[in-house]
Chains A and B, each alone.
Chain A
Amino acid sequence: MKRNMKSLVELKNIWFRYEGQEDYILKDINLEIRDRDILLLLGRSGSGKTTIARIITGLIPHFYRGELKGNVIINGRSIVNKPIYEIAEYVGLIRQNPENQILMTNVEREIAFSLEFLDIPREDMRKRVHETANKLGISNLLSRDIDSLSGGELQKVAIASILVRKPSIIILDEPSSYLSPSSVNRLRQYIMMLNSEGIAFLIIDHRIDYWLDITTRIAVIYKGKKIFDNNLTEFLKFIEKFDVGLNIPLHLRLAIDVNKCCGKRVLPITQDTKKVLQILQKGGNNDRV
């Protein structure tokens, strides 16, 4: 059965420059996030990724000032002149620096805080807070003071406080920056579960290797322009042809470099490292015959 892919977010011909800056940081960006997408947004530092997140969440133009051209449509409605609280109903943003979004002094209260405005009975609130904490593996932190948390723990709390609200789209800006691989694994599993329940994700992260296997689409921003927007298969072909300063995982970089040095396609550019190993071993076997 083919699902009807609904458009959750549409950026149409977006141009933006920050107040006091001459150059546009975004130049004619068109980007769509559909129902159940896990969209990985890539690009070098300063390429405009975070600016896109700010536009989708309404932080631009409400909080960061500048000149915004084009249209932003969320759930079928233009949000350009809508107040932030209306946008926040649909979009949750987990920011780069978790300290920027923490408001309370205790972990359980912090996670519960975002439910305060949703008119949910107290018992249900508790249940949702504990369920979210459990899934992120931070149940043991619930009674702790915010001040006593490590960087990684704080980030998990910040993530929990957005996820608990279950908005229709969640934006994660550099989620892995303070997290260890095992914590990222747990987050990834939780994202996949929420995604299967219908929540779409936009993930911005320099650690590409963490997300390649769960992404439905990848977009690349380069100097304010979108230069790529397609699936993983096409992305692997793209990075073989163009070096745009991304942090390419080593197993892919190795295959790309080998092919470049040999002047032909010796190794496939694939996430399936076992396949690469088999091909290498076959090369060895040929020699012995």
Chain B
Amino acid sequence: MIEFRNVWFKYDETEEYILKNINLVIEKGRIYSILGDNGSGKTTLIRHMNGLLKPTKGDVIVDEVNTRDIPISILSKKVALVFQYPERMFFSPTVEEEIKYTLINFGFEGKELDERTDYILKEFRLEDFRDRAPFSLSGGEQRRLSIAIAVSWDPDYIVLDEPTTGLDGEARKDLTSTIEKILNRRRTVIIVSHDLEYLFELSPHVILMNNGQIMFQGKFGELLENEDIVIKCGLSMPRISLLLHFLKRDGNLNNLKYNEILNLLLDKLRCTNYV
């Protein structure tokens, strides 16, 4: 569990607070999305999760340990932060070596290193690319590799900053299946985003930020019922949400994943003899 207790933060004495009294609980094994406008404090918030930043006031507690009391090198084994365009940090000649470099940094060696590398290559469908240069992969494949590397040492929490940036349709599907894989292993995924359309793939618990404060916390579906808050916080309503009102009249819209919406709509059209 990651807990924010009355967290205030500013970079230096003179400026305004960037985070203002954040209280937040991230539970294990679930998927969260942190949403908000440019400059709302999303990135500053996630940098507190692995101790990269420490609160000016208040505390961040990761699995019962205060981030002030533990070195970042240990915390980052537990909490992996994947930044925007992570693939820009590739530098090894092959995919295999790129993965191994990180694992060696986290203390893997010998047989364990090889086994772990093979497992990651297989798990993330990268086996065919083992000897390829990371830069020769497509955009979606590069993103998959960078996430595979971030979870290679098996952190408990994986924080992805704008993971859909620059991805085409196919690559977005690829990202979804990668995230689902991580969730199946009962790890916690936290996605920073302002792409509400993408969240229909995952239907996460949402945390909406505005001007350093949390404006809304709840299910993704609940957020979509609060259009005025969504707009006020600099986001826009996906057009599909207009169609959800039609489905919602039956009150059976608990999970907002795209496939379930499609099936629900088909069922409904069938029972109205419209099809």
Contacting pair A174 B166 (CB below 8 A): yes
- A180 adjacent to B266 (CB under 8 Å): no
Is B89 at the interface (CB under 8 A from chain A)?
no
| Alpha-carbon separation in the docked complex, A247 to B168 (Å) | 6
* CB of A138 to closest CB in B, whole Å: 10
Q: Is A245 an interface residue (CB 8 A)?
A: yes
With both chains docked as a complex, state the minimum distance between the C-beta of B40 and any C-beta of chain A, in angstroms: 8
Q: Which residues of A contact B243 (CB under 8 A)?
A: 251, 254, 273, 276-277, 280
Given A153-B39, A250-B240, A273-B242, A262 and B262 contact (CB-CB distance below 8 Å) = no
Contacts of A247 in B (CB 8 A): 167-169, 172
Count of chain A residues near B, Cβ 8 A: 48
Residue A286 lies at the interface, judged by CB distance under 8 Å to chain B: yes
Which residues in B have their C-beta under 8 angstroms from that of A97?
Answer: 85
Q: Are B234 and A245 in contact (CB under 8 A)?
A: no
Residue A114, interface by CB 8 Å? no
> With A181-B234, A245-B169, A247-B168 in contact, do A284 and B272 touch (Cβ < 8 Å)?
yes
CB-based nearest A residue for B140? A45
Q: Are the CB atoms of A206 and B168 closer together than 8 Å?
A: yes
Task: Known A262-B275, A277-B242; judge A183-B38 contact (CB<8 A).
Answer: yes
Residues in B neighbouring A81, C-beta threshold 8 A = none
Which A residues between 29 and 46 are near B, CB-CB below 8 angstroms?
43-46
Is B197 close to A, CB under 8 A?
yes
Q: Which residues of A contact B167 (CB under 8 A)?
A: 45, 206, 247
79-133 of chain B: CB within 8 A of chain A: 84-85
With both chains docked as a complex, state the minimum distance between the C-beta of A225 and any C-beta of chain B, in angstroms.
17
A286 to B268 Cα, complex, angstroms: 13
Alpha-carbon distance A248/B162, docked complex (angstroms): 19
On whether the beta carbons of A44 and B245 are closer than 8 Å, the reply is no
Scoring A residues 197 to 208 as 1 if CB is less than 8 Å from chain B, else 0, what string do you get? 000000000110
Shortest beta-carbon distance from B47 to chain A in Å: 12
**Which single residue of chain A is at the shortest CB-CB distance from B173?**
A245
Interface residues of B in 173-208 (CB under 8 A from A): 194-197, 200
A253-289: which residues lie under 8 A (CB-CB) from chain B? 253-254, 257-258, 261-262, 264, 266, 271, 273-274, 276-277, 280-281, 283-284, 286-287
Contact across chains for A209 and B197 when beta carbons are under 8 A apart: yes
Contact A245/B246 with A46-B138, A177-B165 known, Cβ cut-off 8 Å: no
Interchain CA distance A248-B43 in the complex, whole Å: 28
- Count contacts between A and B, CB distance < 8 Å: 137
Question: Which chain B residues border A280 with CB–CB below 8 Å?
Answer: 243, 246, 265, 269
Does A71 reach chain B (CB closer than 8 Å)?
no
Residues of B within 8 A of A287 (CB): 271-274
Q: A182–B239 contact, CB under 8 A?
A: no
Which positions 221-256 of chain B face chain A at CB distance < 8 Å? 234-236, 238-240, 242-243, 245-246
Cα separation A245 to B238 with both chains bound (whole Å): 20
Contact indicator A277/B245 (Cβ below 8 Å): yes
A183-B234 contact, Cβ under 8 Å, with A46-B138, A273-B239: yes
A262 vs B139: C-alpha distance when bound (angstroms): 34
Task: Give the chain A neighbours of B166 by CB distance below 8 A.
Answer: 45, 96, 174, 177, 206
Which among B37, B43, B243 has the greatest number of chain A C-beta atoms within 10 A? B243
Given contacts A153-B38, A250-B238, 5 further A-B contacts (CB under 8 A): A150-B43, A182-B37, A250-B239, A250-B258, A283-B269
> 29 A-B residue contacts at CB 8 Å?
A44-B168, A45-B138, A45-B140, A151-B38, A179-B38, A180-B194, A181-B236, A182-B234, A182-B235, A182-B236, A183-B38, A206-B169, A245-B170, A246-B169, A247-B172, A248-B169, A249-B239, A249-B240, A250-B197, A250-B258, A254-B243, A254-B261, A261-B262, A262-B269, A266-B274, A266-B275, A271-B239, A273-B240, A277-B243
